[in-house]
Every structure is written in structure tokens, then in C-alpha cells.
DNA sequence: CAGCGTCCTTGTTCTCGCGCAAAGAACAGC
DNA sequence: GCTGTTCTTTGCGCGAGAACAAGGACGCTG
């Protein structure tokens, strides 16, 4: 159910549309529709033909991958303003992961077939998209560095801080991760198990660093958490 | 020592220059010089200002990152035809890693300042570069998947197979990794230790899957190695 | 408010692979 | 050929964290 017309003001502040004139933005937008996703709705599924790409306007998504053996990992969290589902730019015809809404969300949708045209007709967009993908590569590489060199507690620290930075909003007493996230999710982001994450967060909670609840997380002391994540302060767990 | 003039035939077959007309290629090339690097020469260093970017014409490079604690990991191997040192596309002003020649190498060199101009003036180049970076993101993400879900032996298997695919050439009896690579390097590619890699390769050697030597590696049975890497056949080590 | 499903905690056991140590090969230079 | 350096092999003990196991708490539904 496409909206009648998409307004340029929806997107013109996004880094993705920087340096583009109104006419160009309108042209790109004219090929899009918008779509709503409810909690737990699947936006696209791993292995399915990548026939659409998206920009998230509102809400949050979790992108996961499963191994042939059924092990799951969380690839990333999609925040408002993020481009996602761009299999075309990754040289693939299918989606490498599954995207699920973790809260009510709204996204702009393009057919994948529009990608090439947009990239070739709007060099500024291509340059911006490259920046975005580059930033993602950056992040993927620092995750590799973390997973291969750091002990679990520090990895969890980095993951929590990243969540706070990208998806947190300030609240009295700390930074609230403003969407439902389970310990299982955090485990899948850090390559460990639910059990270990639970133990670590319990230890942190006792030290007053964070405060949790069922699918809730409040970072109370990001500074000390950063020290732990960077190995400048000894681990607390067990 | 720049060569007098760079010939278009050096690069016109690279995927990076696909769909570009001769004039455009000449224009891009006119801003480049070429440079030779001897074994163990450092092309650029982690943290240094990213004032140049490169395309490797001949040879191999190893790109590494070190953590603040001095732990090292191998980010990737650069093969002929690869673009590297493009910090600009990753939204950085410094190099995130160190590139070292592992054999005699030759690269084309551009000043980083030329990047923006090239990307904006040649949409086809921008699109190709995006593909390249996308492919790299792809690879980074599958490494994350591997590191977080697979046991060491399988990770080493994947790493060796990737080397064979990207940097191997057929020889009687198997696929030769055609540059000097140490067990330490493999350990740093898979997030493990030199010792563990040595044990695993010894076990494989006894089973006739590979055949090694000082900084040498020959993959004799890629099929069975793939089965092990994919967990379809039980691990051999110890 | 009873009942059920999901998510979370906490204890115990077990194991992979890292840390440490030391000796053995291959190569480079003199 | 000798010697030093770098790369590699191999043995042993230990510890982080996974696997297994059993409850407990929260929130939704009827």
C-alpha cells in the first residue's frame, strides 16, 4: 500500500542524500513506496531472491544469519536512516541474512532493479552509498579484531557500548537501549552463549554498571564499561 | 620513480575498470604513478595519514592490524588487481592497518586527493568500486560467522581454502599457495595460535590432505578439506 | 487469576585449545 | 662448513567458557 507521494523532507537530512539537489532526491524517491512492519514481521529472508532494497525510516530491525548447522548470529541492528537489503551492492542475487522487525517499523522500499539506474544517474548517491558500505566494512573488521583477540567479557562490553551509541537514548540514570533485546541476542552478537552473557551482566549489575530486566537494558556507567571493554580495568565476571 | 606513461592495457581487464571507455581509463591512469616494493617493504603503516591509494599489479601484500595490547591479526591478503589503501572510502583519514609486501610487488599509486574527483567524474568506476567494497564486506561477514560459530580446525580449513582460491595456482599434485606464508600468519587469520595451527596441519599432512614446508603450503585434496571445513567430515586433529 | 510459554538465573561438569617450555629443522650470511 | 636466526614441532597443565541441568521470574491469554 504505497502512500500517495513521498515527501522529500523524509530523507533529505540523511547522510545518504547529502549533496544531492532536490530534483535528484525527488527522482530517487519517485521510484519508492513505503511499508509498515509490525513486531516480529520478517522483512526479507536469508536465501530469498533479493528483489527489493530499503531505507529504514522508523523502528528497528535485527539482521541475522544462520549457519547450515542451525547456529544463529546477529549480523547487525538496523537503525532509522540506515540502508539495508542492498544485496546488489554486495554482488549477490539473494539476501545473505534475515531481517526481522524488533518493534513497529516503517521503511522505504525500492525494487532492486532500480539500484543500477540510481547509482549510475546520481554519482553523489553512489559516493554516499559507498561511504555507508565502507563504514559497515570498517565495523565488520573491528568485530573480527574483537572476536579474535578479546576475551568474552570485553567483547560483550564492546557490543553493549555499540548498542548504546547506535540505538540508545539518554534517560535519567543512564542510556536506555530503546528496543527489546534479549541476552540471547547479545550472545549471538558476540559469538558466545546466553549463559555466559547472563553471568557477565549479573556481575556488571552488582557493580552498578548496568541495569537489566526482561529484554531491557540500561547502561548506567558507560565510562567504566569502556574501560573494561578496552581492557584497562580487570574483568568483573565470576 | 614514476614510469614515463602508464599503458591502459595494464588495467583494462580488471573488474574495477569494467564498462569504462578508453578515454575515462586514460584519464584515471594519468593521475597515477607506479611503484615497486621489495619483500618485507612496508607500503603503508597503521595509523599513518592516508595520503595515497593503490592497485596491486603484481606480487602479494599482507594487511595486518595490531590491537592496543600488541596482538596482531591478518586482515587480508592483497592479490594482483585488488584495490587497497582506500581509507577515503571507509570514511577515515588514516590507514586502519599495515600493508607489507610478502614478495616482490608492483602497484599503481594515486594521491588520496584524487579519489573524490575520480568517483564523481566516473560513475562506472564508482559503481565498480562499490562492488569491490561490497565483496569485501561479504567476506568480512562470513569470517565473523566462521569465527563465532566454528571450531578452530574448521576455521583453519576455510582460511586455507580461501588462500588456495584467491592466491593459489595449480601444480602437479595440488594447488600451491604461491607466496611465502607462515603458520603464524595462518594463526593470525583465524584467531588462534601458531601452535594449534601447527598441530592441525601436521594431522592433515598425515592424512595426505596438504603438504607443507617452511613457509610453503600445497593443498593436495581440496575436496576433503572442504568437507572438513564445512563440518561434513569429522575433524582430524589430535 | 490460573496456566502456559518465553526468557533469565545459577550451579556443576567437562573440554578445547591457549600458555608455557624446550628442542628440532630450514635457511642466510660469513 | 659453521653459527645464528627464524620458523616449526611437540609435550604438558590449566583455565575460560561451553554444555548440561534445573529452577525461577515475568508477561501474555483466556
What's this model's pTM, rounded to 2 decimal places? 0.92
Q: Which residue has the cell 571507455?
A: B21
Contacts of A196 (CB under 8 A, 6+ apart): A152, A187
A130 and B135 within 8 Å at the Cβ level: the answer is: no
Q: Which residue of B has its CA nearest to A231?
A: B69
DSSP string across chain A:
---S---GGGTTTSGGGTT--HHHHHHHHTT-EEEEE-TT-EEE-TTSB--EEEEEEES-EEEEEE-TTS-EEEEEEE-TT-EE--GGGGT-SB-SSEEEESS-EEEEEEETHHHHHHHHH-HHHHHHHHHHHHHHHHHHHHHHHHHHHS-HHHHHHHHHHHHHHHHEEEETTEEEE-S---HHHHHHHHTS-HHHHHHHHHHHHHTTSEEEETTEEEES-HHHHHHHHTTSS-----
Q: Which of B153, B159, B162 is nearest to B234 (CA)?
A: B153
A14-34 mean pLDDT: 93
The confidence score (pLDDT) of residue A145 equals 93
Q: Within 10 A of A13 (CB to CB), how many other CB atoms are there?
A: 10
* Contact at CB, A137 and B67, closer than 8 angstroms: no
Mean pLDDT of B134-150: 93
Residue where the block lists cell 539476501: A95
Q: What is the mean pLDDT of residues A17-31?
A: 93
Q: Residue A147 has which C-alpha cell? A: 572476536
What residues in A contact B120, CB-CB < 8 Å? 123-124, 127
What is the C-alpha to C-alpha distance for residues B86 and A127, in angstroms, rounded to an integer? 13
Residues listed for chain B? 238
Contact B153, B228 (CB under 8 A): yes
Kindly tell me if the per-residue pLDDT of A33 is higher than 50.
Answer: yes
Q: What is the pLDDT of residues A202-226, one digit of tens each?
A: 999 999 999 988 999 999 999 999 9
Mutate to test the interface with B, among A20, A64, A70, A144 (most CBs of B within 10 A): A144
Predicted pLDDT at A95:
97
pLDDT tens-digit readout, A127-186:
899 999 999 999 999 999 999 999 999 999 999 999 999 999 999 889 999 999 999 999
- CA dihedral (A173, A175, A178, A180) in degrees, to 10, reads -80
Note the pLDDT of residue A10: 86
Residue A238 pLDDT grade (very low, low, confident, very high; cuts 50, 70, 90): low
Q: Which of A142, A125, A12, A10 is nearest to A76 (CA)?
A: A142
Q: How far is B30 from chain A (nearest CA, A)?
A: 21
What SS3 state is found at B153? helix
B190: pLDDT strictly greater than 50: yes
Please give the pLDDT value at position A149: 93
pLDDT at A104 over 60: yes
What are the CB-based long-range contacts (under 8 Å, 24+) for B8-15? B10/B57, B10/B108, B11/B55, B11/B57, B11/B108, B14/B55, B14/B81, B15/B81, B15/B128, B15/B131, B15/B132
Cβ atoms B194, B220 nearer than 8 A? no
When pLDDT is averaged across residues A91-114 and rounded to a whole number, the result is 95
Question: Each residue of B31-72: pLDDT tens digit?
Answer: 999 999 999 999 999 999 999 999 999 999 999 999 988 899
CA distance B193 to B183: 9
CA of B127 to C1' of C10 (A): 53
Average pLDDT over residues A1-23: 82
- Determine the longest span between alpha carbons in chain B, in angstroms: 59
Question: Is A1's pLDDT higher than 60?
Answer: no
Say what percent of chain A tops pLDDT 90. 81
Is the pLDDT score of B1 beyond 60? no
Q: Is the pLDDT of residue A2 over 50?
A: no
Contact A65 B145 (CB under 8 A): yes
Given this model, what pLDDT does residue A233 score?
Answer: 85
Is 90 exceeded by the pLDDT of residue A70? no
- Give the torsion through C-alpha atoms of B77, B80, B81, B85, to 10 deg: 50
Of B69, B127, B144, the CB nearest to A140: B144
Share of chain B above pLDDT 70, in %: 97
- Give pLDDT, residue B238: 60
- Res. B91 pLDDT band, cuts 50 70 90: confident
Amino acid at each position: 500500500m504505497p502512500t500517495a507521494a513521498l515527501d522529500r523532507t523524509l530523507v533529505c537530512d540523511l547522510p545518504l542524500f547529502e549533496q544531492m539537489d532536490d530534483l535528484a532526491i525527488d527522482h530517487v524517491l519517485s521510484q519508492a513506496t513505503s511499508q509498515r512492519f509490525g513486531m516480529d514481521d520478517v522483512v526479507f529472508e536469508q536465501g530469498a531472491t533479493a528483489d527489493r532494497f530499503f531505507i529504514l525510516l522508523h523502528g528497528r530491525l535485527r539482521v541475522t544469519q544462520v549457519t547450515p548447522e542451525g547456529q544463529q548470529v546477529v549480523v547487525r541492528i538496523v537503525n532509522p536512516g540506515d540502508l539495508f537489503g542492498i544485496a546488489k551492492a554486495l554482488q549477490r542475487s539473494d539476501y545473505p541474512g534475515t531481517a526481522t522487525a524488533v518493534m513497529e517499523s516503517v521503511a522505504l522500499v525500492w525494487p532492486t532493479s532500480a539500484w543500477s539506474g540510481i547509482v549510475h544517474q546520481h554519482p553523489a548517491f553512489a559516493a554516499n552509498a559507498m561511504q555507508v558500505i565502507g563504514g559497515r566494512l570498517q565495523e565488520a573488521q573491528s568485530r573480527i579484531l574483537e572476536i579474535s583477540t578479546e576475551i568474552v567479557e570485553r567483547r560483550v562490553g564492546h557490543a553493549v557500548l555499540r548498542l548504546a551509541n547506535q540505538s540508545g537514548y539518554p534517560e535519567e540514570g543512564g542510556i536506555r537501549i530503546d528496543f527489546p533485546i534479549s541476552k540471547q541476542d547479545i550472545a549471538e552478537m558476540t559469538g558466545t552463549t546466553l549463559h555466559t552473557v547472563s553471568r557477565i551482566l549479573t556481575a556488571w549489575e552488582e557493580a552498578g554498571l548496568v541495569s537489566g530486566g526482561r529484554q531491557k537494558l540500561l547502561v548506567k556507567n558507560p565510562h567504566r564499561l569502556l574501560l573494561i571493554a578496552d581492557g584497562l580495568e580487570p574483568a568483573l565476571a565470576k
